[in-house]
Chain A
Amino acid sequence: MKWTHAFLAGLVFGAGLVISGMSSPARVLGFLDIGAIGTGHWDPRLALVMIGALAVATPLFALGRRRGQALDGGILPSLPTQGVDRRLIGGSVLFGLGWGLAGICPGPALVDLGAQPWPMLAFVLPLAIGLLLGRRD
């Protein structure tokens, strides 16, 4: 893949995260704060972001499946054959713990690193260490 395409894809993805509010920990925590449902302070907007992204991505993935190959002729990866296992559940729990503590997941972490390097480095460096620690290989 051309690195220019990948850079542009990152730029567009990042812009989407900023425009949708995902880059703001306050906005994400406002969504995760289910204790606020009914108080008028709960912020359901991120659910709309997810629904919107799925509304675009689902038909695109379906289109790719029908074509059988990528537009550049590359092979499209098929769904993983491994089923639901303990690593998936355990990993998702750990991820949820971290996400609930700070309201930051990997994509927004990298966007926020560009927007405000400090204190984001305090999140991104441990994130990188964690990514390497959690590998199976």
Chain B
Amino acid sequence: MLWLVHGRIAGIAGIARVALRGPDRDWRLAFIAGLVAAGMVARITVGPAVVAGLDTIPLLRLAIAGLLVGIGTSMANGCTSGHGICGLARLSRRSLVAVPVFMGTAMITLALFKVLA
């Protein structure tokens, strides 16, 4: 919708990266504020089920995962929404490669983690 109305791709990682340091930050910061606000509203209306499972993840694992997701999506220029939705919907060859790679890696990582833990 962002692309059709305003000519923008709504990949979250890309929006967040440029919002941190880049040109034309106002709309990107507003978009991020909208996402955070949606979480606040959901917490009040729906309750803690919104983030079900979050409390079971140790802090160190959260931090390492966050860093890896940040570096990875920045390098690959896209995350689940960027490559997975926008990229695939536009029939981007890069996304057709990226999505199976990150989804497969995530599945293998989780499987290994469960074996080791």
A→B interface (CB under 8 Å): 1-15, 17-18, 23-27, 29, 32-35, 50, 53-54, 57-58, 60-61, 63-64, 69-72, 74-77, 79-80, 82-84, 87-107, 109-116, 119-120, 122-136
Q: Chain A interface mostly helix, strand, loop or mixed?
A: helix
- Asked whether A18 lies within 8 Å of B70 as measured between CB atoms, the reply is no
For A4, list chain B residues within 8 Å (CB): 30
The CA of A17 and the CA of B32, in the complex, are separated in Å by: 13
> Given that A87-B75, A127-B70 are known contacts, is A110 also in contact with B105, CB under 8 Å in the complex?
no
B114 to nearest A CB, angstroms? 6
The CA of A84 and the CA of B92, in the complex, are separated in Å by: 10
For B72, list chain A residues within 8 Å (CB): 91-98, 130, 134
Contact-residue bracket for chain B: 35 or more
The residue of chain A having its C-beta at the shortest distance from the C-beta of B87 within the complex is A79
B80 to nearest A CB, angstroms? 4
The CA of A75 and the CA of B46, in the complex, are separated in Å by: 39
For A14, list chain B residues within 8 Å (CB): 34-39, 42
Q: A-B pairs with the 7 shortest C-beta distances? A: A130-B70, A10-B34, A14-B38, A96-B105, A26-B53, A114-B39, A134-B74
Contact with A along B56-79 (1 / 0, CB 8 A): 110101111111111111111101
The one of A91, A102, A114 that contacts B37, using a Cβ cutoff of 8 Å: A114
The one of A33, A77, A114, A122 that contacts B110, using a Cβ cutoff of 8 Å: A33
